[in-house]
Structure 1
Amino acid sequence: MGGPALLTLGVALLAAVLAVIGVRTYAAGRERRQAFVDRLADDGHGRPRDGTRRRFPSLDRRLRATRAGRRLELRLAATGLAVTPGEFLVGMLAAVTGLWLVAHVTLAPFFGPLAAAVAVWSAFAFLNWQRQKRIEKFINQLPELSRILANATQAGLALRTALGMAAEELEAPAGEELAKVSDKLAVGHSIDDALGELAERLPSRELVVLVTTLVLSNRAGGAVVGSLRNLTKTLEERKETRREVRTQLSQVVVTAYVVPLLGIGTLLLMNKIAPGAIDRMTSTFLGQAAVVAAFALYALGFFLIRRFSKIDV
């Protein structure tokens, strides 16, 4: 074997050794990174910091490695629920399977996929409802938050200190969200960035006004106490207005949910009176098209009623 051949063989062996070392180093780095992320989320005993035990940790790690899983984790974090992406996915799949089987046995095989689609939509609609509920609760706490910040600022405390004080005194969700803001400020984030992320997590006009007031006051100085006092009064008035509007529209909101339920109840009653009627109806193309059209019209009616009853105050 000549010199060039030996040199080529040596370079190939060296490249193979370096490749193996690189792969092992990369894998070890990923494991350490994931262990660090788990320690941040857990209390050291496999449980989240709220004391409950985490389920499906391997599924959570795989979901967090995907873009859809990260988006799902952000949506769950905005709801305030102590549910991991893996738990949500497993629960949704269990609900899909259960509703599919129930619709298949109770009504007809044609309704199985429709029930599964409704289950998926309902799961994400539940997340949106929880997020909106958390936003509403946070908005109701804004007058008290503005009052605490005004008192702390008037006493001579810095805005960072006032935010930390408000995080300790207020209940969830305001206390939890302000604690996240304080943590970001503690590790070097600016007030603009920390408050901007808060406004993105819980979007509302009232919070945007409060964040804008605090950011501008922090940048340019000025009478921040007077601005917060006026803002507190305005937020109190808007809170009462929102409560009156929600009371006036409660009947319309209930109607939006009752109309689709009446359609489903009619199907069940028809199948109860004439057993097998739904199965015979969905055995033909025209019957299936009529059922799909009816469900589409119910969905359209629900959307239109909810759209018309949505009034931004």
Structure 2
Amino acid sequence: MDNLPLLTIGVTLLTCVLAVIGVHVYSSGKAQREALVDRMSQTGQIANVIGRRRRFVALDRRLRTTKLGKRTEHKIAATGLDLTPGEYIVYVIAGLLGLYFVIGAIFAPFFGVLAALIGVWGGNAFLNWQRTKRTEAFIGQLPELTRVLANATQAGLAMRTALEMAAEELDDPAGEELRRVADQLALGQTMDDALGELADRLPSRELVVLVTTLVLSSRAGGQVVTSLRNLTETLEERKETRREVTTMLSQVKVTALAVPLLGLGFLLMINATTPGALDKMTGSALGQIGTGIAFAMYAVGYLLIGRLSRVQV
């Protein structure tokens, strides 16, 4: 028991590694199942795919009538997650309670309150991260998308038909987003509104340029094929530039995460070396204020590093 801090850190790292492996295995299994269902549905071995049963239907119905529910629904729609606002709210509340009890038991009850407050921010940050991840994946498919649109329009197809063809040929997320645009156009929505909603869901400079090109070509005509060909070359160059910038800034992003994790590691070592030290430290108002200021400084440092490492390409 003399090496209790090292044993605690080792068990924590092993738990994190096992959690990452479990998430990876679950994600790969789910992807394989979805691919198998799609393949069987295309070959006619199964008639249709029944969506999963929704949970917390009554709560979801009430949330959709509130501003919070509408804002949450809009964010979830931009992420592509198979969640309803009611499910998301319930999962976030359950996560906050879990953070409070787990962190409070490991460190001190006051740290459980701080973890719950951080979890409130983390729930919204998770949706923003998923939206950014989906946007980046869509941007990566833009050169292929413009190439398909250019070939279709060069063959004499209308822009609406070209979008439907691109939705069938491209993988998700581009295929899913274009199918949504095609469905909106089929319901009578204008090209400007349908593409404008797409640009709002996945905001990026590249997509705005593409949407502007398609809208102008649908209004005034012109050499849309030539414009799409030139845009394809430009997007290919920007894709390579973005990849280089991401690689160069990867170390900075790791540093931004490592600094607060080191602080938590030191707290674990202090509590393991001197049991009850964190309870004494947060037992008074002065200690709670000092701890809150320390966590706030960690958060400010993380945000500042993230802001300084953000490069607009």
Q: Which moved more, 1:194-203 or 1:107-116?
A: 107-116
Distance 2:68 2:289 in 1: 33
Q: Could you give the per-residue CA deviations for residues 11-67 of structure 1, whole angstroms, max 9, x where no partner exists? A: xxxxxxxxxxxxxxxxxxxxxxxxxxxxxxxxxxxxxx7722211111110111111
Distance 1:92 1:212 in 2: 38
Percentage of pairs with the same residue: 66
Q: Which residue pairs with 2:79 in the alignment?
A: 79
Q: Which residue pairs with 2:30 in the alignment?
A: none
**CA displacement at 1:126 relative to structure 2:** 0.8
Q: Which residue pairs with 1:44 in the alignment?
A: none
Secondary structure class of the residue paired with 2:109: coil
- 1:152 maps to 2:176: no
Distance 2:156 2:280 in 1: 77
Distance 1:106 1:219 in 2: 63
Q: Which residue pairs with 1:60 in the alignment?
A: 60
Q: Could you give the per-residue CA deviations for residues 191-233 of structure 1, whole angstroms, max 9, x where no partner exists? A: 1111111111111000000011111111111100000000000
**CA displacement at 1:112 relative to structure 2:** 2.1
Give the number of aligned pairs: 265
Q: Which residue pairs with 2:276 in the alignment?
A: 276
Q: Which residue pairs with 2:233 in the alignment?
A: 233
Q: Which residue pairs with 2:310 in the alignment?
A: 310
Q: Could you give the per-residue CA deviations for residues 279-313 of structure 1, whole angstroms, max 9, x where no partner exists? A: 01111222112111110110000000000000010
Report the TM-score, using the length of structure 2 for normalisation.
Answer: 0.83
Which amino acid in structure 2 is aligned with residue 295 of structure 1?
F
1:257-272 equivalence runs, <5 A: 257-272=257-272
Q: Which residue pairs with 1:117 in the alignment?
A: 117
Secondary structure class of the residue paired with 1:299: helix
**CA displacement at 1:127 relative to structure 2:** 0.7
Unaligned runs of 5+ in 2: 1-48
Distance 2:280 2:237 in 1: 58
Q: Which residue pairs with 1:140 in the alignment?
A: 140
Q: Which moved more, 1:121-130 or 1:143-152?
A: 121-130
Q: Which residue pairs with 1:191 in the alignment?
A: 191
Distance 1:225 1:85 in 2: 41
Distance 2:52 2:247 in 1: 36
**CA displacement at 1:248 relative to structure 2:** 0.4
Report the TM-score, using the length of structure 1 for normalisation.
Answer: 0.83
Distance 1:104 1:211 in 2: 50
Q: Which residue pairs with 2:12 in the alignment?
A: none
Q: Could you give the per-residue CA deviations for residues 216-272 of structure 1, whole angstroms, max 9, x where no partner exists? A: 111111100000000000000000000000000000011111111111111111000
Q: Which residue pairs with 2:165 in the alignment?
A: 165
Which amino acid in structure 2 is aligned with residue 151 of structure 1?
N
Rg larger for: 1
Secondary structure class of the residue paired with 1:110: helix
Structure 1 runs of 4+ aligned residues shifted over 4 Å read none
Go from structure 1 to structure 2 and tell me whether the alpha carbon gap of 1:272 and 1:284 turns closer, same or farther (over 3 Å shift): same
Distance 1:253 1:110 in 2: 29
1:185-264 equivalence runs, <5 A: 185-264=185-264
Distance 1:89 1:68 in 2: 10
